[in-house]
A and B are shown apart, each in its own frame.
Chain A
Amino acid sequence: MTYREAMRAALREALADERVFLMGEDVGRYGGAFAVSHGLLEEFGPEKVRDTPLSESAFVGAGIGAALGGMRPIVEVMTINFSLLALDQIVNNAATIRYMSGGQLSVPLVVRMASGGGRQLAAQHSHSLEVWYAHIPGIRALAPATVADARWMLPAALEERDPVFLFEHATLYPLEGEVDESAGPADLDRAAVRRAGTDVTIAAWSASLWRALEAAEPLAAEGVEAEVVDLRTLRPLDLDTVLESVAKTHRLVVVDESWRSFGIAAELSARVMEEGFDLLDWPVQRVCSAEVPMPYAKHLEDAALPSAERIVATVRELVR
């Protein structure tokens, strides 16, 4: 099963609930900009699978209102760059209504969007802006990196009573993987160790997980066993799993496709410093995207994104 098919299976299962509906740009007749919702309109009809105008603020806000009205909306925004047009509704409404109402109301809304670079789509379709959402109290930010998480994070998200954001890396949709069809909703509170190791911890999330796992192979050939931690949930961040790993390895590299400045890697680094300073033998290292708007040309884009080669080189410096 591919990541795309896993997400579609999760949507199909979710839509069986009478409170759940899917809305967004081209989710219906087009079948989803990334073909995730292909076939669902035919199966569930236009009330449950709703094509929207290109009005991100209105349909994300309508998702908030429908959630207040007792539904469990799943809103798809085509890409994370487009989601900026809905930031007012997300930051000022979705994240605040519970608190601002003194706990009277909840907003059980799921928003999905594609994110990330690597497809030569240049500076308005390739950014990794998850940290903007992870910054906001009141919402949960998820980054499924594996096919199993693509399958099982959505049902867990729908069990939440507050807004949940699912960031699907656009390069992962064709990814093949195993899914345990009986696994059930994912644990949204825990990071996952995807490769055990003893010499260095590489913490990564979303597509960068695969870069980290790729980097672990040549390192192993050199006698350096990397432990690779998939953060999975960006907010709230599971620091304990990272600290448990660092307690073994005493070295941490964070791989983060967003820009280095003020990013997720910066946050994780700061927390490890605050709560695990004594565990560290070396300063935490970060492998992030270059601080540029994403370029179109392939060689430049490749140079801008974190790569297995850069991770390997960074780890080599730590374990010399």
Chain B
Amino acid sequence: MSGPAATATRVEREHALELLRQMMLIRRFEEKAAELYQLGKIRGFLHLYIGEEAVGVGAMQAFGPDDAIVATYRDHGHALARGLPAGALMAEMYGKANGCSRGRGGSMHFFDASRRFYGGYAIVGGGLPIAVGLALADRLAGRERVTACFFGEGAAAEGEFHECLNLAALWRLPVLFLCENNLYAMGTALERWEAQPDIRIHAQSYAIPAEAVDGMDVLAVEQAVRGASAVVRGGAPYFLELRTYRFRAHSMADPELYRTKEEVGRWKERDPIALFEAGLRSAGFLDDADLSAIEEGVAAEIDEAVAFAEAGSWEPVDDLLRDVTTPAP
């Protein structure tokens, strides 16, 4: 094949393999993190994104370097998809000074100002006002940017969710609300706490356009987020509910008493990586050699990340009080 159609196909293939690579990077990174947690290298809370990779990876394709990201405590996938180096993230979880937050934040609080990654927030709903404010700053400065705000469906029970949707709609702020609906607010199923479990209706009640998207389909997520971002860049909020599922426990401390193995098994049949891999194979975009190459590249990146974390130093205790406030210029 030659000509424009072939070029389009080649670009599509490269892009598709990059999506696959990013999802696999998140998956393997987190599998390694869980292993390191068992070894005591990583402590505190560790919330794995495994099963939800298509959401973060698909969404992040729509954003440029000037756009802003606000994430949650389950932020590994968002950070990796945004391009934060795996080594800086691993080192952060080790608590090392070469971590992306100097070891002050840990797994739940990844930050990277240079990539406009404004942090993982560990109070459910707490990131929404930050995102609204970032969007307000863009509006006041006349900048056409998107602020992408990730949060779980559990946030819909918080007052801040409703306050922020109203404010964003009232002031027509360029914020994209990305609700990752994994069906459980920690261990409480959506229908056990939500009188109106169709989350879109909450957004629509504030006059914000809202759609639900198959969060296990990375291309569907990318397409929906690109479309929504175009609206947001035009100066209005948008709301997407990304329907997904967390394959692992809520955190490493969770015995998972609230759901059955059968339910988890049914969702794993829709594993976003396996689904996408199968699709790519049937399209002729991927063969065993391609997959091995991706796996090897990912494995090498993770080995490097662990080495970077291991080699990092601990911040001196003398610096304990550093950056509580900003030093005078």
Contact = CB atoms under 8 A, between A and B. Distances in A.
Interface of A: 21, 47, 50, 52-53, 55, 57-71, 73, 88-89, 92-93, 97-106, 137-138, 140, 161-162
Nearest to A59: B167
A61 B134 contact: no
Nearest to B70: A65
B90 interface: no
B324 A101 contact: no
A137 B130 contact: no
Nearest to A57: B160
Given A62-B167, A89-B129, A92-B123, A102 B104 contact: yes
A105 B118 contact: yes
Contacts of B102: 102-103
A70 B170 CA distance: 22
A64 B129 contact: yes
A66 B134 CA distance: 5
A74 B100 CA distance: 30
25 contacts: A50-B171, A53-B163, A55-B167, A58-B132, A58-B164, A58-B167, A61-B128, A61-B160, A61-B164, A62-B136, A65-B130, A65-B132, A66-B137, A68-B130, A68-B133, A69-B133, A70-B141, A71-B136, A71-B141, A88-B160, A99-B323, A100-B104, A101-B113, A105-B113, A161-B325
Given A64-B130, A64-B133, A69-B134, 17 more contacts: A58-B163, A61-B126, A62-B133, A64-B129, A65-B131, A66-B137, A68-B130, A68-B134, A88-B126, A92-B123, A100-B111, A101-B104, A101-B119, A102-B99, A102-B104, A103-B102, A104-B112
B131 to A, nearest CB: 6
A87 to B, nearest CB: 11
A60 B167 CA distance: 12
A92 B141 CA distance: 27
A287 B113 CA distance: 47
A93 B126 contact: yes
B121 A93 contact: yes
Contacts of A63: 133
A62 to B, nearest CB: 4
Contacts of A66: 133-134, 136-137, 140
B123 A88 contact: yes
Nearest to B173: A62
A69 B138 contact: yes
Interface residues of B, number: 44
A163 B263 CA distance: 47
Nearest to A91: B123
Contacts of B246: none
B116 to A, nearest CB: 9
Most B-side CB within 10 Å, residue of A47, A64, A66, A106: A66
Most A-side CB within 10 Å, residue of B133, B137, B141, B164: B133
A73 B137 CA distance: 9
Contacts of A102: 99-105, 111, 323
A97 B136 CA distance: 19
Contacts of A71: 136-137, 140-141
B129 A60 contact: yes
B137 A98 contact: no
Nearest to A160: B326
Given A62-B129, A70-B141, A98 B326 contact: yes
Contact of B322 (A65, A101, A103): A103
A65 B325 CA distance: 17
A161 B160 CA distance: 26
A83 to B, nearest CB: 14
Contacts of A53: 163, 166-167, 170
Contacts of B99: 102
Most B-side CB within 10 Å, residue of A53, A89, A100: A100
A138 B325 contact: yes
A69 to B, nearest CB: 3
A162 to B, nearest CB: 5
B137 A69 contact: yes
Nearest to B149: A65
B148 to A, nearest CB: 13
A104 B112 CA distance: 7
B146 interface: no
A101 to B, nearest CB: 4
